[in-house]
Amino acid sequence: MALWGGRFTQGPDQRFKDFNDSLKFDYRMALEDIEGSQAWAQALSEVGVLSADECARLEAALSELLAEAQQDLAVIAQAGDEDIHSYVERRLIEKVGDLGKKLHTGRSRNDQVALDLKLWCAKAGERISASLTALERELIAVAKNHVADIFPGYTHLQRAQPVTFGHFVLAYAQMFERDYIRLQNALSLIKATCPLGSAALAGTAYPIDRDKLAHALGFAAASANSLDAVSDRDHVLELLSCASISMMHLSRLSEDLIIYNSGEAHFVDLSDAVTSGSSLMPQKKNPDALELIRGKCGRVCGALTGMLMTMKALPLAYDKDLQEDKERLFDALDTWHDCLDMAALVFSGLKLRKEEAYQAARGGYSNATELADYLVARGVPFREAHGIVGRAVLYALEKGKALEDLSVDEFEQFHSSIGGDVYVALELHNLIAKRSVKGGTAPAAVLAQLQELEAKLKTRA
Ligand code: ARG
């Protein structure tokens, strides 16, 4: 049964129907459509369109439908109706007869779909918030075990200065914490305004208390402009943007771990549980989980770009183009959710190869800055010290030695103030411990960072 047809003399071409129908993907909003319909029935009864008895019967039938949908959501996709709104109305009429035909009074699928999608977004956002929190907790657990373990720190993918592995891991925890906050901001905007009662575009003709209706559905207020409300998909863009930024973080994390796990670096070992073999090369153990996360970042960012293009130049108010919002949103949020869970799984089995990481951190003259600071402490202006150390590095390179392998005599060629205490300064643990400023890599600072983040997460479910 279609929701329209009176002014048509001919049915739709099957190819058009296949092209136009959205039930095959918008079935996922069944619970939200029913929830919105229950609130609408209540609103209609308050303005006398439905009697109390009619409202009760409709609500009971809708509750039955809700329970059925909760049992098996996916089966709805096959029902053949045009969209989820048509499905719910048809099933309602099957249950309560002609009374079911009254529910759509004063409502349009335009405000209905706008509401359903907002409700769906809010729930999806909660699910993803939980996954972000779980990943942050996993990262904190790993960082806790490696607060003082030395790891090479990079800039330009060249060894720069040593850091601790805990500090590296928490860098990503901070990114996911921002993703969490960004998502909460987006969710609070979603729940700020309720579009129901905007009807097709001009507002419903029934004197419904829209703010009351909005509150009943968990929103702060009714939307202020019906033209805007039925065609606003900012929340879709915002969620896709949150997803894209977070996927970019996940992709960077994946890339780092792929490099660190490579034969060339081999500072970490990925667990067998998240790697796969080659059908030809028996020795291979490939970082597929991480590569897939990195690859899926493109898919999610593509969804954001696609949605921006759909919205661009869209005339007010509702246009069918807007039906293009759902598939990519559903796919992008599912993907984001799965990638967050997968990243947590990767970390739960990750092993740091402490000795390899330490040796790599020792190489690459990553304690050169420390030698410059050592000279600064002896009165040499930093820029001059920089030049002196640069020459010392060049000399050491030619000799095939590390800085700390040079003798005091050799050091003295570069500056007379360098003495036997230079070796303590160049020792990695010592130079790391000096970076105890807030946000620094010293174990004490990493511990403080860890505790601060942990305290934030404690208040979360
Ligand atoms: N399936 C439609 C969508 O997703 C529902 C709204 C249809 N409204 C309309 N006027 N045809 O946007």
Phi, psi of 272, deg, nearest 5: -60, -25
Give the CA radius of gyration of the chain: 30
Question: Catalytic site residues?
Answer: 156, 278
149 lines ligand 1 (CB under 6 A): no
Distance 458 CA to ligand 1 centre (A): 42
Determine the Cα–Cα distance for residues 88 and 63; give it in Å rounded to an integer: 12
How many other CB atoms are there within 10 angstroms of residue 60's CB atom?
12
Atom of ligand 1 nearest to the CA of 85: 5
Q: Is the CB of 22 under 6 A from ligand 1?
A: yes
Q: Rounded mean pLDDT of 242-260?
A: 98
* Whole-prediction pTM: 0.96
Report helix, strand or coil for 181.
Answer: helix
Instruction: Report the distance separating Cα 105 and Cα 94, nearest Å.
Output: 18
Task: Give the side-chain half-sphere CA count within 13 A for 366.
Answer: 26
Cis peptide before 221 (omega within 30 of 0): no
Ligand 1 midpoint to CA 281 (Å):
52
Write down the residue that tokens 């200065």 correspond to. 161
Q: Is 139 in the pocket of ligand 1 (CB under 6 A)?
A: no
Query: Does the Cβ of 235 fall within 6 Å of ligand 1?
Result: no
Residue 445: partners with Cβ closer than 8 Å, 6 or more residues away: 435, 436, 437, 438, 439
Mean residue pLDDT across the chain: 97
Q: How does pLDDT run across 141-165, given as a tens digit for each residue?
A: 999 999 999 999 999 999 999 999 9
User: Residue 365: how many CA atoms within 13 Å on its side-chain side?
Assistant: 18
Question: Whose alpha carbon is nearest atom 7 of ligand 1?
Answer: 109
- 4, 16, 22: residue to mutate for ligand 1 pocket, most atoms within 8 A of CB: 22
Lookup: tokens for 311: 């919205």
pLDDT bracket for residue 4 (50, 70, 90): confident
| Cβ 84 vs Cβ 29: under 8 Å | yes
Task: Tell which atom from ligand 1 comes closest to the C-alpha of 117.
Answer: 4
Going from the Cα of 452 to the center of ligand 1, the distance in angstroms, rounded, reads 47
| Confidence label for 6 from pLDDT (cuts 50, 70 and 90) | confident
- Cα of first residue to Cα of last residue in the chain, in angstroms, is 44
For residue 231 the two structure tokens come to 């065609």
Within 10 angstroms of residue 26's Cβ, the number of other Cβ atoms is: 27
Give the span between the Cα atoms of 454 and 321, in whole angstroms: 44
Region 221-248: mean pLDDT is 98
Token pair of 123 as six digits: 């729930």
What contacts 27, CB < 8 A, 6 or more positions away?
73, 74, 76, 77, 79, 84, 87
Nearest CA to ligand 1 atom 12: 323
Could you report the per-residue pLDDT of 405-451, keeping only the tens digit for each? 999 999 999 999 999 999 999 999 999 999 999 999 999 999 999 99
| Poorest-pLDDT segment among 101-105, 277-281, 402-406 | 277-281
* Tokens encoding 48: 């006398």
Question: What percent of the chain has a predicted confidence (pLDDT) above 70?
Answer: 100
Q: Is the dihedral of CA 315, 6, 14, 329 positive or negative?
A: positive
Residue 461 — pLDDT band, cuts 50, 70, 90?
confident
Ligand 1 centre to CA of 112 (Å) is: 9
| β-pair partners for 352 | 268
Q: Is the CB of 81 under 6 A from ligand 1?
A: no
Residue 95 has pLDDT above 90, yes or no: yes
Q: 407: which DSSP letter?
A: -
| Residue 359 amino acid letter | Q
Distance 110 CA to ligand 1 centre (A): 6
Our answer on whether the CB atom of 322 is closer than 6 Å to any ligand 1 atom is yes
274: Cβ below 6 Å to ligand 1? no
Alpha-helical (H) ranges within 233-381 are: 234-261, 288-311, 325-348, 354-362, 368-377
SS3 state of residue 153: strand
Q: Is the CB of 37 under 6 A from ligand 1?
A: no
> With a 6 A CB cut-off, is 26 part of the ligand 1 pocket?
yes
Which pair of structure tokens corresponds to residue 313? Answer: 């130049």
177-197: per-residue pLDDT in tens? Answer: 999 999 999 999 999 999 999
- Please name the residue whose Cα sits nearest to atom 2 of ligand 1: 323
Tell me the pLDDT band of 98, cut-offs 50, 70 and 90: very high
Q: Parallel, antiparallel, or unpaired for β 150-155 and 351-352?
A: unpaired
According to the model, what pLDDT value does residue 282 have? Answer: 84
pLDDT of residue 2: 83
Q: Which of 26, 29, 85, 109 to mutate to test the pocket of ligand 1 (most atoms within 8 A of CB)?
A: 109
Answer yes or no: is pLDDT of 3 > 90: no
Look at residue 1 and tell me whether its pLDDT is greater than 80: no
DSSP 64-114: HHHHHHHH-SGGGGGS--SSHHHHHHHHHHHHHGGGGGGTTTT--HHHHHH
- For residue 259 the two structure tokens come to 């490099």
pLDDT in tens, 291-332: 999 999 999 999 999 999 999 999 999 999 999 999 999 999
pLDDT band at 283 (very low <50, low <70, confident <90, very high): confident
With H, G, I as helix, E, B as strand and everything else as coil, classify residue 164: strand
Mean pLDDT lowest for which of 5-14, 192-201, 231-240, 397-406?
A: 5-14
For residue 43, the number of C-alpha atoms closer than 13 Å in the C-beta half-sphere is: 27
Place 353 in a pLDDT band, splitting at 50, 70 and 90.
very high
The tokens 């770009």 sit on which residue?
Answer: 305
**From the centroid of its chain, how far is CA 233?**
19
113 lines ligand 1 (CB under 6 A): yes
pLDDT (0 to 100) of residue 5: 86
CB atoms within 10 A of CB 114: 25
* Residue 439 Ramachandran class (φ > 0 left, ψ -120 to 50 alpha, else beta): left
Query: Would you place residue 33 in the very low, low, confident or very high pLDDT band (cuts 50, 70, 90)?
Result: very high
Higher-scoring residue by pLDDT: 285, 97: 97
Candidates 442, 419, 418; CA nearest to 430 is 442
Pairing of strands 268-269, 193-194: unpaired
Dist. CA 108 → ligand 1 center (Å): 9
How high is the pLDDT of residue 284?
A: 86
Among residues 142, 426, 130, the alpha carbon closest in space to that of 268 is found at 142
Higher pLDDT residue, 2 or 186? 186
